[in-house]
């Protein structure tokens, strides 16, 4: 009887643990869907609002792709609003978007600068949302009693290499390499990204610091290196601590602004690194991988999740500005060509190029999704 009771207790414990895992997984997926949906909504809302401001005829505003879940037509405007099954995107369907139209308010019949603003509005909304969420994250950090990192060196780690090559306590770092910095987070990122790897232990970069009211240039300051086990990429690593600052509203705004710009730069640098081969495709994450990261962020706390949300929305904005077919950047590129030529490209040519672009993006998404699923096991 004792053995049977122990087996029953063990089975109950395993069942309980499995139930917790299932509930947690569903919860993380729901949060991921909520995040994806809100980012798509904000992006498409940008296109929609600017299109309506220029009186462009809008046929449909859709969140999601594929089969419809819910759909209704507004009586006054005639615009169809839809929620679709696949949470991988959305769209604003406009008259004359992909073909010539006799409608005077068709997208194709609007001035080039108006169409450019309609296209730019989607990515701009994502980047603006990123700034607002960054401001909220910075505000919560200060509200929780944690100071913001300044750019002034407060303390060196034991055996810090940078202290041996001219960097001193109370130095205010103004520039790392060729990049001016305004927050401690920017300093950390630029040391990681803007250093020259010397060997398997050290990296170097130039610094510009403010010392006793004078600007001092420090050449070839040495830092230890940090290796990413997942990608194998080697970075420079800072070896000191910053003074903290308590921020008023103006300080919070400035910190959020510069950190937002730094995040946009980080995303752009990462895209360039993907193209140049510094990062492999294994460094990319699709919906499955991002959902996993969201689950990890939820466990870590609200500010971590908020920062991940900031990075994802800015990533969506920056990625869409790439001049690649089927992206907003591709459409923007065609419009700029039209502005220079003073006549549009043939719709057949644009359609073919966009079809190839969409096909390549879908193949990339399938590859990344398969990689992410394999990585779960």
Asked if residue 265 and residue 131 are part of one domain, the reply reads yes
Does residue 54 sit within a domain?
yes
Q: Are 368 and 142 in contact (CB under 8 A)?
A: no
Q: Which of 245, 274, 289 is the last residue of a domain?
A: 245
- What is the structure's pLDDT at 287? 64
Does residue 331 sit within a domain?
yes
What is the torsion angle, in degrees rounded to the nearest 10, for the CA atoms of residue 236, residue 163, residue 141 and residue 289? 10
Does residue 3 sit within a domain?
no
Asked if residue 306 and residue 207 are part of one domain, the reply reads no
Q: Are 198 and 212 in contact (CB under 8 A)?
A: no
Query: At 202, which CATH number?
Result: 2.30.42.10
Closest CA to 328 of 20, 26, 46: 46
Asked if residue 113 and residue 261 are part of one domain, the reply reads yes
Asked if residue 251 and residue 241 are part of one domain, the reply reads no
Closest CA to 205 of 179, 185, 176: 176
Asked if residue 258 and residue 341 are part of one domain, the reply reads yes
User: Does residue 15 register a pLDDT over 60?
Assistant: no
How far separated are the first and last CA of the chain, in Å rounded? 38
- What is the structure's pLDDT at 228? 73
Q: Are 115 and 334 in contact (CB under 8 A)?
A: no
In this prediction the pTM is: 0.80
Strand-pair category, 172-176 with 179-180: antiparallel
Q: Are 333 and 117 in contact (CB under 8 A)?
A: no
Asked if residue 41 and residue 106 are part of one domain, the reply reads yes
Give the tens place of pLDDT for each residue, 105-161: 999 899 999 999 999 999 999 999 999 999 998 888 888 888 889 999 999 999 899
In a 13 Å sphere around the CA of 110, the CA atoms on its Cβ side amount to 23
Q: Which of 190, 219, 245 is the last residue of a domain?
A: 245
Does residue 178 sit within a domain?
yes
Q: How far is the C-alpha of 242 from the C-alpha of 223, rounded, in Å? A: 16
In a 13 Å sphere around the CA of 180, the CA atoms on its Cβ side amount to 4
Q: Are 167 and 218 in contact (CB under 8 A)?
A: yes
Asked if residue 259 and residue 143 are part of one domain, the reply reads yes
What tokens were used for 155?
Answer: 């303390």
Asked if residue 332 and residue 195 are part of one domain, the reply reads no
Mean pLDDT is lowest, of 27-31, 120-124, 187-191, 199-203, for: 27-31
Give the tens place of pLDDT for each residue, 298-349: 666 677 888 888 888 998 899 899 888 888 999 999 999 988 988 888 888 8
Does residue 12 sit within a domain?
no
225-241 burial string, b = 16+ CB within 10 Å, else e?
beeeeeeebebbbbbbe
Give the tens place of pLDDT for each residue, 254-300: 999 999 988 888 888 877 877 776 666 666 666 666 666 666 666 66
Does residue 14 sit within a domain?
no
Backbone φ, ψ for residue 179 (5° rounding): -115, 125
162-187 burial string, b = 16+ CB within 10 Å, else e?
bbeebbeeebebbbbbeeebbbbbbb
The count of domains in the chain is 2
**Helical segments of the chain, H only:** 2-53, 112-143, 184-193, 249-276, 287-300, 302-320, 328-341, 347-375
- What is the structure's pLDDT at 27? 61
Q: Which of 193, 221, 245 is the last residue of a domain?
A: 245
Asked if residue 160 and residue 109 are part of one domain, the reply reads no
Give the tens place of pLDDT for each residue, 223-243: 988 877 666 678 888 999 999
Q: Which range of residues forms the domain containing residue 204?
A: 151-245
| Angle at alpha carbon of residue 257, lines to 254 and 258, rounded to 5° | 90
Asked if residue 361 and residue 315 are part of one domain, the reply reads yes
Does residue 197 sit within a domain?
yes
List of long-range contacts for 299-303, beta carbons under 8 Å, 24+ apart: 302/140, 303/137, 303/140, 303/141, 303/144
Bridge partners for 225 per DSSP: 236
Active centre residues (catalytic):
44
The number of angstroms, rounded, from the C-alpha of 91 to the middle of its chain's C-alpha atoms is: 20
Residues contacting 87, CB < 8 A, separation 6+? 33, 36, 37, 40, 64, 287
Does residue 266 sit within a domain?
yes
What is the torsion angle, in degrees rounded to the nearest 10, for the CA atoms of residue 24, residue 30, residue 34 and residue 37? 140
Asked if residue 259 and residue 177 are part of one domain, the reply reads no
Give the tens place of pLDDT for each residue, 65-78: 888 999 999 988 89
Asked if residue 124 and residue 33 are part of one domain, the reply reads yes
């Amino acid at each position: 009887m004792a053995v049977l009771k122990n087996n029953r207790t063990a089975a109950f414990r395993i069942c309980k643990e499995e139930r917790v895992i299932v509930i947690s997984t569903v919860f993380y997926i729901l949060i991921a869907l909520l995040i994806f949906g809100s980012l798509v909504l904000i992006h498409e809302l940008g296109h929609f609002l600017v299109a309506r401001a220029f009186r462009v005829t809008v046929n449909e505003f859709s969140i999601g792709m594929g089969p419809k879940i819910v759909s209704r037509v507004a009586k006054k405007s005639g615009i169809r609003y839809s929620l679709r099954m696949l949470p991988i995107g959305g769209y604003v369907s406009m008259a004359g978007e992909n073909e010539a139209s006799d409608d005077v308010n068709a997208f194709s019949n609007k001035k080039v600068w108006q169409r450019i603003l309609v296209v730019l509005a989607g990515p701009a909304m994502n980047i603006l949302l990123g700034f607002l969420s960054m401001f909220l994250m910075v505000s919560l950090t200060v509200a929780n009693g944690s100071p913001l990192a300044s750019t002034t060196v407060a303390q060196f780690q034991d055996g810090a290499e940078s202290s041996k090559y001219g960097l001193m306590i109370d130095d205010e770092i103004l520039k790392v390499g060729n990049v001016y910095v305004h927050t401690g987070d920017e300093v950390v990122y630029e040391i990681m990204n803007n250093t020259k790897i010397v060997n398997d232990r050290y990296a170097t970069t130039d610094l510009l610091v403010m010392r006793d009211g004078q600007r001092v240039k420090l050449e070839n300051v040495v830092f230890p290196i940090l290796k990413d086990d997942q990608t194998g990429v080697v970075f420079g690593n800072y070896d000191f601590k910053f003074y903290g600052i308590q921020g008023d509203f103006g300080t919070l705004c400035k910190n959020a602004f510069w950190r937002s710009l730094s995040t946009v730069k980080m995303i752009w640098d990462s895209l360039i690194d993907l193209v140049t081969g510094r990062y492999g495709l294994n460094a990319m994450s699709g919906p499955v991988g991002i959902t996993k990261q969201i689950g990890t962020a939820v466990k870590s706390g609200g500010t971590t999740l908020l920062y991940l949300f900031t990075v994802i929305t800015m990533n969506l904005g920056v990625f869409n500005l790439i001049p690649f077919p089927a992206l907003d950047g591709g459409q923007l590129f065609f419009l700029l060509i039209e502005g220079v030529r003073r006549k549009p490209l043939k719709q057949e040519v644009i359609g073919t190029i966009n079809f190839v672009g969409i096909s390549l993006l879908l193949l990339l998404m399938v590859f990344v999704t398969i990689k992410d699923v394999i990585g779960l096991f």
